Chains A and B, each alone.
Chain A
């Protein structure tokens, strides 16, 4: 299976930030639209905004499946969709959170902790032969970390999917942990 390779690097995707009314069934409407129009969702992150009437979806869309213009216009037709932004990676800050449980017999645990230190990741839980770590970072960085952990044996991994915000107009220096 191709899941051995990092999924995100180089993938032909576009990120849409979609503000929707916080109504029952709205996620089904968005997902159903993607399914029936043959658009591909690579990842999807949903959470309420600070205004409880609205939620914010960050959708990573495979661009090979359809012209982005069609995706945006069809989404816009959903009555509960309030606003759609297409995020350009150069002008936005993107993050993803990964949690992973990795094989870590006592002899090799030190090597994993080295990686944790280098990536400024976090140890969440330690067991007899396993260790649970987490990392928040750019997609590339999370990919790198996952790739380096893989040879040790990933038991479980969960990534949140990308979330993103546009860069501010007077750009502050990128945070320390950046691309």
Chain B
């Protein structure tokens, strides 16, 4: 079938099952926006290309399907670099199509030319500069394959204008349906080595203080069910990192919650005191390990990861298993059951007692605000958690509000937590929530955002309004870049440098209304519940609830950077308790 490159691109995207595209047109990508009109794919017109990228990420987080964004060349391509890096750090499957100046003009500093593949090489799993129209079907097919298999990640496809422009003879091609992939250097290996899996089973059956240290790889591998079976079969406690919140139910008796810099005391300490860490799809990030030299000093390590480069990158494992988490856990379950190995596990009642002791002495805690004080974010989050459906999707920004959301929410379902972990991108929440809502229109979607974060991407609420994505935003106005303020208080002798935002400017309620949303302002605890109820009732447009929160509240527990996890600082009210 004869067609032009733009038509081929749309057809190729349709063939990959793409049903929604987040983007914004411009000169170089114009020829592709024309066949878009004839396509079955829905396009969501964003207000800033960063928004398109985070929406594609949010969509991928919530659905497991690759998110797709399309933007023009030059400044649009540079605007989407942050989401690419974010997706790269958090292994999010995403395909980004960028326009480029005509092939012959590349290298001439043409209008809106930038070296997009050069700039994004370090923040993509792979990228392509397509030189011929005839390559488009195959490159798109390969791009989705690479983005979604192995360790998922973002793939960028840069398309020069001439190969999609129907007025240019270089855009003509004969459509073909790609048959497979010619990628001799790309063969992701999925199943783990049986001998290593047997070794892992042995260590598990001998361990007295084991902990399942589970990361984002669980969700990527769709291994939540398998993980639950493993935990229940062995009775081993589970910690869920920031990237795996929801990968194991918070309300499960074996769940210890989030470890790390702002993890809860029990999760942090159980890992620190463990004699075996079973790391599943986790990468020993510095925010989890604290000072690496002092991390879990007595623990042997079983490390399962799809990316062999993670095995031994930070901590040398005793048993290293390269493979897909779900397949490896399933194999491990078989071995554990077959040998009757589970029955030989030592008595761990002492370990359980220690753990429940920590849980009793060091629960998450905060003091409710006094009558003249503003709200405590923790209180708002508890109310929000308790008055939303169990399968609500929560997206968050980056800062104190993020840590409190992760701490106080009860995640009982996979794919309900949409978050920027590795890159820590302020401004992620709103566009990511929109992407999640686009992927799961049946779900209630709340974005929990900081006032600093909100100001970075609030314009996407226009997209939410006009495109019909009725998300809800809990805007935590503490008048500060709160997390930075906390560090300055604790580590810079309360010398506050450039962290005060402004309590009243902007007027968030008016701003929300101007963006087409319902705007609500809440200042006292008794207003919280009614405001949430009101927000939950609105379903025809987005809602922004501004919660006016105390500025001086700090996130605890906290492992100060550079310290070991044994030096975790607990809430001031718990400091005298025996550890």
Contacts and interface: CB of A to CB of B under 8 A. Distances in A.
A36 B126 CA distance: 15
B129 interface: yes
B185 A80 contact: yes
B196 to A, nearest CB: 16
B129 A82 contact: no
Interface in B113-130: 117-118, 121-122, 125-126, 129
Interface stretch (A8-16, A23-31, A150-158, A162-170): A23-31
B309 A70 contact: yes
A21 B185 contact: yes
Interface stretch (A71-79, A100-108, A116-124): A71-79
Contacts of B307: 77
Interface in A50-84: 67, 69-70, 73-74, 76-83
Contacts of B186: 79
B384 interface: no
A80 B5 CA distance: 25
Nearest to B150: A77
Interface in B295-339: 307-309, 312-313
Nearest to B311: A73
A74 B309 CA distance: 6
B1 interface: no
B183 interface: yes
B308 A21 contact: no
B146 A79 contact: yes
A46 B74 CA distance: 31
Contacts of A78: 185
B309 A79 contact: no
B117 A79 contact: no
A25 B125 CA distance: 14
B453 to A, nearest CB: 27
Nearest to A29: B121
Nearest to A24: B129
A32 interface: yes
Contacts of B312: 67, 69-70
Interface centre among B118, B125, B185, B307 (most CB of A within 10 A): B185
Contacts of B117: 25
A78 B453 CA distance: 34
A77 B121 contact: no
B578 interface: no
Contacts of B308: 73, 76
A20 interface: yes
Interface string B82-126: 000000000000000000000000000000000001100110011
Contacts of B253: none
B403 to A, nearest CB: 28
Interface of A: 20-21, 24-25, 28-29, 32, 36, 67, 69-70, 73-74, 76-83
18 contacts: A21-B184, A24-B129, A24-B131, A25-B117, A25-B118, A25-B121, A25-B129, A29-B121, A32-B121, A32-B122, A36-B122, A69-B312, A70-B312, A76-B309, A81-B185, A82-B184, A82-B185, A83-B185
